[in-house]
Structure 1
C-alpha cells in the first residue's frame, strides 16, 4: 500500500487526503492549526459568515423602496437598524470551529491519520521512500515514511514594519473576529479582493468606512466595468475611497488609529484592517534542501498536475500562489493524488476557474476577460447586458449590475463571462458550465430559463451574440 503524507490540513490538504485514501493509499495529515486551515478557521468561512450578516443589513436599507416599514412595540416608526457585533462574531467563530470538526471527523472516519504538529521534509525528501518529520506540541518528533508528500501549508497576511497589527485596533483580516463592538470608523488599507470585501461588509454593518487604494480604482485586478459599478455603489452608500493613495505607515494613539500616506496626508479612524496581500508558509519545511524550487517571494513552483521540482513532492493551495482560492487549492490537491496514484487526471486549467468577490453587489468571473480581448490575447466578441432591464431585478429593486458574455467569433463558443449583482456567485454557474463544456451562445440562449429570473439575462445576452450566417 503506497504511503502519502500531507503537510497542511486546509482545502488542498484534506481534499487530497480523501482522494488518496479512496485510491488505496495509507494517508497521514500533519496539521498545525486545525483541519480546514485558514480557509475554514480564519479566512473564507469566517469572512463569508460575517458578510452574510452584512448582506441582510444591506437588504434592509432597500426595504422602504419595496414598501416595507418597521415599527416598534408602540407602533412608532423604527428608523435605525443596528448590529450586535459580539453576537455576530460569536456565531462566526462557532461556525468555523464546527466546520473544522466536521471535516476532521470525515477524515478520521475514513481511517486517515491526523497528527497535530509542524511537518517538514526529512531524509529523502519524500522521493520514492523519504521521510517526513512532525514536531509535536510537546516538542517531541515523530517520523513518517512517505512514498509521496503533498505540501499544502497555505499563506498568512502580509504586514509591513511600518504597519504592525496589535490585534485590537490595527488588524489583519484574521483578527477582526475578536471585535465585540462595531467600530466607529474603519479604515481599510488595500483595495484588492480582501480589502474590498471587508470595506463593503463593514459599510453595510453601519460603520463609517475609508478605503485606501494605491491604484486609481477598487479591485484593479477585476473586470473594469464590474469595478466601476462597485465603486459607484460604495461611494453612493457613503464610503470614502481614496484612490492613488499609497500607505506609508499605520500608528495607534490610544483609541485612535492614524494611517499616514506617502504624500503626507493622514487619515484618522478608530480601527484599521490591513489587506496587503499574503506571504506563503514555506519556511522551515526543508523544501530547498529537497530540491523544491521557490519563486516570487517564497511560493512553490508547480506544474499543471501539482508536481514540484523535487521527485515525489507535490504542492497545492495558497503556498503555490496563483489563484489563491479554496476551490483551486482543493482541485490542485485532488489532481496531485490522482496523478501520483495513477488515476485518470485532467491538468488544472485556470481558465475554467470561477471566482467571486463577496462585496455588495457581488462580482463573479470565469474564463477569458475583456481586458485580454482588448490586449489582443484572444479574438472574441463581448456583450454586456445591464440587470436594470431584467423584470426580476425590477421586482426586487435591483438597479446595479450586469451580465457580460465573451464568445469566440464564428463558432460562438463561450470563453468567459462576468456577473455583477446579488448572488453573482450563484448566477455565474451556467456561464461556468458553458466555458467548461465549450457550449455556444446559441446553446446557452436556447436553454429554458425561469420567467422571471435574474438568470434570464444570461440567456438574453447569449441571444444578442447570435449571428445569422
Structure 2
C-alpha cells in the first residue's frame, strides 16, 4: 500500500488527499487549525462572504438611478441603508464552519484518515505528530506533502490586539460598525477590505507605501479602482509608510514615517504573509528553504528532498487557493505515476474582489511594456456596453493582449462587476492558445457584459 502523509488541511492539503485517495493510496491528513485552512476559515471564504454583503450595499446605494426608492414604515422615503455587522460576521463564520465540515465529510467518504495535531518531519519519510489530545504519533510515508500555509505578517511597532488593531484574520469578531477605519497596505488584501468596508458605509482611509493602489496589478485597472474608491469617499494616502500603530482606549493612532498621525477607531494591518514553516524539521529533512522561509519547489511540487512535496502559500509560488489546490493535485499525480502537466503560472486566472472587481490572466501589460514579450493590446471600456448601460455600470473595461501576426491571445484583464466570472472565456483562450479571431467568432448573448470580450477580440482583427 502506498502511504501518503499530508501536513496541513488547506486547499493544497485536502485536494491532494482526494487525488491520492481516489488513486488507491492510504492517505493521512495532519491538521492543526481546521480543514480548509485559512482559505476556508479565515481568508477566502470569510472575506468573500463579507464582500458579498458589501456588493449588495453598493448596488442598493445606486438603485435610485434604476428607478428604485425605499420607504420607511411611515411611507416616507428612507434616507440610508445600515449594516448589522454582528449579523454579517456571524453569517461569515457560520458559512466558513459549514464549508470546513463539508470538506471533512468528503475526506471521510473517500477513506482519508484525519489526525488532529501539529506535524513535523523526522527525515523525508516520517512525520511525527504532537496530538491535540496529548502524546504523539509517528507516521511512516512513501511521500510527504507539506501544505502548512502562511500567516499574516506583523511588526513589533504594530502589534494586533484582536479588538481594534487587527489582522485580516481577526476582523470577523468586530460586532459594532467602526466609526473610522484605517487599512494599512494597498495590496490585494488591503484593497479588498478597504473597498468592502467603504461599501458598508464606513469611513475608510487606505495607507499605501507606493504611488498607487494595487502596485502589483495592471496599471490601467488599478487606476480605475483608485478613481472609483476616491469618488465614493475613501481617502488614499499614497507614498505613505506606516511607522507604528498604537492604541489608547477606543482611539487607535497610525503614525506615518513623515510624522503624520491618523486617528481612527479600528485599524486593519495588511502587511503581507509569512510562511508557516518554522519548527517543521524541513531543513533537517533536506528540504531547501528560500528567502523568507518559503519552501522551494519545482513545477511538479517537488522539494529538494526525495519524496517530499509542498503546495500552497508555504511555497510562496502564487498565493491563491486555486494554485495551492493545483500544486497539491500535481504533486500526487506525479508521485503516483499518473499523467501530469507541470504548473504553468501564465495560465492562472486571479481576481481582486474589490468594487469593481479586477480579473487577470496570462501575460501582463507591464511585461509587454518592458519588452518581455512582443504583443499588441486593445482596451475596450464597458461604458459602451448595452448591458452595462442598463445596469448603470460606468466603470471598467476589457483588455486583450495578443501576439502580433498570429493574433494568439496571451493575456487579458477585465475590470467590472463579476469580473471573476467574465475572465473565464479569456482564460480559456489563453489556456488553449486561441486567436482573437477564434474568440470573436464564438456567439455571445445580446445584451451581455461578455459581449465586450467578443467586441475587443474583433478589434484585434487584421485584414
Range of TM-score over shorter length: over 0.9
Alignment of 1:195 onto 2:195: no
Corresponding residue for 1:2?
A: 2
2:209 to 191, 214, 218: 214
Alignment of 1:176 onto 2:176: no
Alignment of 1:125 onto 2:124: yes
Structure 2 counterparts to residues 156-305 of structure 1, below 5 A: 156-305=151-300
2:414 to 411, 419, 431: 419
CA distance in 2, matches of 1:322, 1:375: 22
Alignment of 1:22 onto 2:22: yes
CA distance in 2, matches of 1:54, 1:202: 7
Corresponding residue for 1:66?
A: 66
Corresponding residue for 1:371?
A: 366
Q: Deviations over 1:28-47 (max 9, x none)?
A: 00000000000000000000
SS at match of 1:294: coil
CA distance in 2, matches of 1:73, 1:35: 45
CA distance in 2, matches of 1:110, 1:265: 56
- The ranges of structure 1 where at least 4 consecutive aligned residues each deviate by more than 2 angstroms after the TM superposition are none
**RMSD between superposed Cα atoms in Å:** 0.5
SS at match of 1:117: strand
Q: Deviations over 1:103-153 (max 9, x none)?
A: 01100111100010000111x322xxxx11110013300011100000000
Report the Cα offset of residue 322 of structure 1: 2.2
CA distance in 1, matches of 2:345, 2:204: 34
CA distance in 2, matches of 1:8, 1:285: 11
Corresponding residue for 1:357?
A: 352
CA distance in 2, matches of 1:200, 1:256: 22
CA distance in 1, matches of 2:393, 2:376: 27
SS at match of 2:292: coil
Corresponding residue for 1:57?
A: 57
CA distance in 1, matches of 2:208, 2:360: 22
Structure 2 alignment gaps of length 5 or more:
none
SS at match of 1:180: coil
SS at match of 2:334: helix
SS at match of 1:331: helix
CA distance in 2, matches of 1:47, 1:133: 33
Corresponding residue for 1:100?
A: 100
Q: Deviations over 1:219-252 (max 9, x none)?
A: 0000000000000000000000000000000000
Alignment of 1:408 onto 2:399: no
Report the Cα offset of residue 384 of structure 1: 0.2
CA distance in 1, matches of 2:59, 2:293: 42
CA distance in 1, matches of 2:386, 2:285: 59
CA distance in 2, matches of 1:454, 1:245: 37
Q: Deviations over 1:152-192 (max 9, x none)?
A: 00000000000000000000000000001110001000000
1:462 to 452, 457, 461: 457
Report the Cα offset of residue 323 of structure 1: 1.0
Q: Deviations over 1:279-336 (max 9, x none)?
A: 0000111100011011120000000000000000000000000210000000000000
Corresponding residue for 2:112?
A: 112
CA distance in 2, matches of 1:322, 1:62: 39
Structure 1 alignment gaps of length 5 or more:
none
Normalised to the residue count of structure 2, the TM-score between the two structures is 1.00
2:442 to 443, 447, 463: 447
Structure 2 counterparts to residues 127-142 of structure 1, below 5 A: 131-142=126-137
CA distance in 2, matches of 1:166, 1:121: 32
2:426 to 406, 431, 434: 431
CA distance in 2, matches of 1:118, 1:345: 30
CA distance in 2, matches of 1:112, 1:77: 57
Residue-pair matches, total: 463
Structure 2 counterparts to residues 300-339 of structure 1, below 5 A: 300-339=295-334
SS at match of 2:277: coil
Report the Cα offset of residue 74 of structure 1: 1.6
